[in-house]
Amino acid sequence: MFPIQRPRRLRSNSQLRRMVREIVLTTNDLIYPLFAVPGEGIAQEVKSMPGVYQLSVDKIVEEAKEVYDLGIPAIILFGIPADKDIDATGAWHDHGIVQVAATAVKEAVPDLIVIADTCLCEYTSHGHCGYLEVGDLTGRVLNDPTLELLKKTAVSQVKAGVDIIAPSGMMDGFVRAIRSGLDEAGYIDTPILSYAAKYASAYYGPFRDAAESTPQFGDRRTYQMDPANSREAIKEVALDVAEGADMLMVKPALAYMDIIWQVKQATNLPVAAYNVSGEYAMIKAAALNGWIDEQRVVMETMTSFKRAGTDLILTYHAKDIARWLHEESMSTAKWLGDRAASEVQTTPVAPCIRTPGFEPLNPEQLASAPVAEETNA
């Protein structure tokens, strides 16, 4: 109790605050989303997401190299195919855009982890995440037939070099189906990062510009979760864990940190959060207008995600964060170097104390001194 307890004592300077900091953000926490398109030499900025681009495979490879050099361990690939159809052929074809991009990235940067978004909405002509009844205009996806498409897609993606499968369509039983398909194809060691609690959110708006995946009719509320529900998220998580998920994701992140916390408490699996396009766009718009300090707001937001319990963060800010962390590290290193140099200059040198009767050998005596033989003792 005051005045004995004064919490401000531990906030009195930057070094002390750094010593007692509970949450530390590092580049190891980051996953960078990339959008692959057909063609060559293409870098088309997404108007609603400043700094985010649709990239041809050659540009994806360049970006992957930069990401790796920044210390970010993973990317997640989304694909925009040249053609779309009701069977989502571009999702599972061996020469699909994600498959081609994944192969190219793994050849160029083999140690970079490549995650594939395993969904169908970018590849179907109607923009929904699976098969629909003929004539359906509501967007009610046929669950079980769609599972077969997801199995084919996952196997094709791993065959192309993908390291982690991330199914996002929120189909019932999709983790079990994909796990079964991967195991049958011999990919028993490929992890699944399940979009376990994915909400039908308005925050996805800009993403649909980037991925060109807006539904042509209806919406996705018959398969994505109601934003009002939290207990349902724990149910979805429990089902995915039982079906073989290796990691779990909550999407979106900013308005769902309570869900991140509950998921973290409910399981011992790694938890990821997707800092989605709408969250990114709001910060970018405010920063471009000079209303906020972009760096401070982004870093505070990421720290909040970790404080809520997330282990991994998918974010379009990843490259900026990596640069800011590097600058902070360099600043700290400079401070330590300056301090060490100062101590060397100001520390008095202890006098040499010579033992009576002892005279040091000169160089000629040292050269002719006998060398003791090695023993095996």
Q: Is the pLDDT of residue 311 over 50?
A: yes
Mean pLDDT of 61-85: 96
More confident residue, 217 or 108: 108
Q: Give yes or no: 334 in active site.
A: no
Which of 33-37, 127-131, 162-166, 316-320 comes out lowest in average pLDDT? 127-131
| Structure confidence at residue 334 (pLDDT) | 67
pLDDT, position 135: 77
Does residue 370 lie within any of the structural domains? no
Question: Which pair of structure tokens corresponds to residue 295?
Answer: 């760096």
CB 105 within 8 A of CB 61: yes
Point out the catalytic residue in the list 84, 152, 251, 284: 251
How many Cα neighbours within 13 Å face the side chain of 110?
1
For residue 16, being part of any structural domain is answered with no
Pairing mode of beta strands 74-79, 164-167: unpaired
pLDDT in tens, 163-212: 999 999 888 999 999 999 999 999 999 999 999 999 999 999 888 787 67
What is the largest distance, in Å, between two alpha-carbon atoms of the chain? 107
On the question of pLDDT at 375 being above 50, the answer is no
Q: Which of 198, 264, 306, 319 is catalytic?
A: 198
C-alpha span between 346 and 352 (Å, rounded): 18
Q: In this predicted structure, which of 10-14, 294-298, 343-347 has the lowest mean pLDDT?
A: 343-347
| Predicted local confidence at residue 217, as pLDDT | 75
Give the domain extent around 128. 21-332
**Beta partners for residue 313, in sequence order:** 30, 273
- Tell me how far CA of residue 341 lies from CA of 91, 329, 338, in angstroms: 58, 18, 5
Q: What is the CATH number of the domain that holds 169?
A: 3.20.20.70
> Would you place residue 374 in the very low, low, confident or very high pLDDT band (cuts 50, 70, 90)?
very low
- Return the number of other C-beta atoms located less than 10 Å from residue 140's C-beta: 15
Q: Is the pLDDT score of 301 beyond 80?
A: yes
The DSSP string of 111-129 is: TSEEEEEE-STTTSTT-SS
Predicted local confidence at residue 336, as pLDDT: 65
Residues paired with residue 311 on neighbouring β-strands, in sequence order: none
Torsion angles phi and psi, residue 320, rounded to 5: -60, -45
SS3 state of residue 239? helix
Total structural domains within the chain:
1
Q: Are 109 and 65 in contact (CB under 8 A)?
A: yes
Q: Is residue 337 part of a domain?
A: no
For 48, the token pair is: 């609603």
Asked if the structure places residue 362 within a domain, the reply is no
CA proximity to 31, closest of 281, 303, 317, 354 = 317
What percent of the chain is predicted at pLDDT more than 70?
89
Write out the H or E segment, with its range, that includes residue 31.
strand 30-37
The type of residue at 134 is V
Give the 3-state secondary structure of residue 252.
Answer: coil
Look at residue 218 and tell me whether its pLDDT is greater than 80.
no
Q: Which of 149-158, 208-217, 230-239, 264-273 has the lowest mean pLDDT?
A: 208-217
- Specify if 187 maps to a domain: yes
Q: Which of 76-90, 253-267, 358-372 has the lowest mean pLDDT?
A: 358-372
- Mean pLDDT across 257-283: 97
Does pLDDT of 368 surpass 90? no
Is 7 within a domain?
no
Whether 138 maps to a domain, the answer reads: yes
Give domain status of residue 211, yes or no.
yes
Average pLDDT along the chain:
90
At residue 74, what is the residue type? Answer: A
What CA–CA distance (Å, rounded) separates 158 from 242? 22
pLDDT digits (tens, 9 = 90+) for 85-114: 999 999 999 999 999 999 999 999 999 999
Summarised one tens digit per residue, pLDDT across range 314-354 is 999 999 999 999 998 887 766 667 767 776 666 555 555 55
Catalytic status, residue 151 = no
- Whether 269 shows a pLDDT value over 50: the answer reads yes
Rounded to the nearest 5 degrees, what angle is found at the Cα of 19, between the Cα atoms of 13 and 22?
115
